């Protein structure tokens, strides 16, 4: 009897079909396919529409009530557009998610932000209620609990400039909204970032080096521990969702939300 393999979703956002990022995506996907059954969402190639609007409410677009309440009903009643239901199923099926994108204006490309806006719907990504406790599942709990995520991000700056004292700001802090506010919020286990510095000046040797480095990273992912973010239900937070005074006392940086602070 053949043992089933884990599933992976490779979510890719770069507009250029002939680029370093494309070469990296092709090589990394090939490496991942050695151990996983892989589906890809190549957002630019798909022509994915990132704009959230009334069509995402299905037949409830003209119903009464707030957008959020109608969106929650649309999720529960399978009223979402087909393209969104397909992407949600990819997420639900995945054991591992790889996100690859270039850092644009200190964030992700708009098409990828729009993918999160539309796919992580009310009742799927947020406002997910535990029927037993009546509590909202978030920050370490949610429908995506247990799924591991690797973020691969390229940038023109140096690692020093994107470091703790660099002029561009610390990369972990810049992407905290994604790693903690989106992925950990929905229950994902987020692995340490895979940053690729100085891509604007790459030659063929640089490309080959980074392809090898990412393939080796992917080959060893099973042994990696996720970023140790504090779960909301850990007891470290007050009922107002503020870190208790005695935890990481005196600090206000975002690192306080890690258990290794």
State whether 255 and 148 are in the same domain: no
State whether 212 and 175 are in the same domain: yes
Q: Residue 115: which CATH number?
A: 3.40.50.360
State whether 212 and 124 are in the same domain: yes
- CB–CB of 149/120 below 8 Å? no
Q: Cα–Cα distance between 216 and 150 in angstroms, integer? A: 13
Asked, for residue 31, whether it belongs to a domain, the answer is yes
Please say if the pLDDT value at position 1 is more than 80: no
State whether 236 and 128 are in the same domain: no
Average pLDDT for residues 113-135, to the nearest whole number?
Answer: 94
Angle between helix 204-219 and 20-32 (nearest 10): 30
Asked, for residue 2, whether it belongs to a domain, the answer is no
State whether 192 and 157 are in the same domain: yes
State whether 214 and 250 are in the same domain: no
- Beta strand 194-196 pairing with 37-42: unpaired
State whether 12 and 110 are in the same domain: yes
The pLDDT, as a whole number, for residue 3 is: 74
The pLDDT, as a whole number, for residue 47 is: 97
State whether 203 and 259 are in the same domain: no
Domain count across the chain: 2
Taking the alpha carbons at both ends of the chain, their separation in whole angstroms is 46
Q: Cα–Cα distance between 207 and 215 in angstroms, integer? A: 12
State whether 112 and 182 are in the same domain: yes
Determine the structural domain holding residue 188 and report its residue range.
7-226
The pLDDT, as a whole number, for residue 2 is: 60
Percentage of the chain modeled with pLDDT above 90: 95
State whether 147 and 235 are in the same domain: no
State whether 239 and 164 are in the same domain: no
Phi, psi of 93 (to 5 degrees): -75, -25
Averaged pLDDT of the chain: 95
The pLDDT, as a whole number, for residue 85 is: 97
Please say if the pLDDT value at position 223 is more than 90: yes
pLDDT per residue over 157-211, tens digit each?
999 999 989 999 999 999 999 999 999 999 999 999 999 999 998 999 999 999 9
The pLDDT, as a whole number, for residue 48 is: 97
Q: What is the pTM of this model?
A: 0.95
> Predicted confidence band at 261 (pLDDT cuts at 50, 70, 90)?
confident
Asked, for residue 209, whether it belongs to a domain, the answer is yes
Asked, for residue 253, whether it belongs to a domain, the answer is yes
Q: Cα–Cα distance between 139 and 182 in angstroms, integer? A: 9
Q: Which of 115, 121, 193, 120 is nearest to 150 (CA)?
A: 193
Asked, for residue 1, whether it belongs to a domain, the answer is no
Please say if the pLDDT value at position 34 is more than 90: yes
State whether 94 and 51 are in the same domain: yes
Torsion sign, CA atoms 151, 157, 159, 161: negative
Please say if the pLDDT value at position 83 is more than 70: yes
Q: Please identify which residue in the block is written with the tokens 């729009």.
A: 114
Q: Cα–Cα distance between 65 and 72 in angstroms, integer? A: 11
Angle between helix 82-93 and 110-119 (nearest 10): 90
């Amino acid at each position: 009897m053949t043992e089933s393999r884990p599933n992976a979703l490779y979510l890719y956002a770069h507009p250029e079909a002939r680029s370093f990022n494309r070469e990296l995506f092709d090589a990394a996907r090939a490496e991942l396919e050695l151990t996983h059954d892989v589906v890809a969402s190549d957002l630019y190639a798909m022509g994915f529409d990132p704009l959230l609007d009334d069509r995402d409410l299905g037949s409830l677009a003209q119903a009464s009530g707030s957008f959020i309440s109608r969106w929650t009903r649309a999720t529960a009643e399978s009223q979402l557009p087909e393209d969104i239901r397909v992407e949600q199923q990819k997420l639900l099926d995945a054991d591992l998610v790889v996100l690859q994108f270039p850092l644009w204006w200190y964030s992700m490309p708009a098409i990828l932000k729009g993918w999160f806006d539309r796919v992580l719907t009310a009742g799927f990504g947020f406002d997910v209620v535990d029927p037993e406790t009546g509590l909202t599942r978030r920050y370490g709990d949610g429908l995506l609990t247990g799924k591991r995520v690797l973020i691969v991000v390229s940038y023109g700056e140096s690692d020093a400039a994107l470091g703790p004292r660099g002029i561009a700001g610390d990369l972990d802090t810049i992407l905290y909204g994604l790693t903690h506010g989106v992925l950990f919020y929905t229950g994902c286990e987020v692995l340490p970032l895979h940053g690729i510095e100085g891509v604007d000046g790459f030659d063929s040797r640089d490309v080959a080096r980074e392809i090898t480095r990412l393939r080796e990273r992917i080959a060893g992912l099973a042994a990696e521990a996720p970023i140790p973010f504090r779960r909301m239900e850990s007891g470290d937070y007050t009922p107002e969702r503020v870190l208790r005074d005695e935890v990481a006392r005196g600090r206000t940086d975002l690192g306080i939300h890690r258990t290794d602070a």
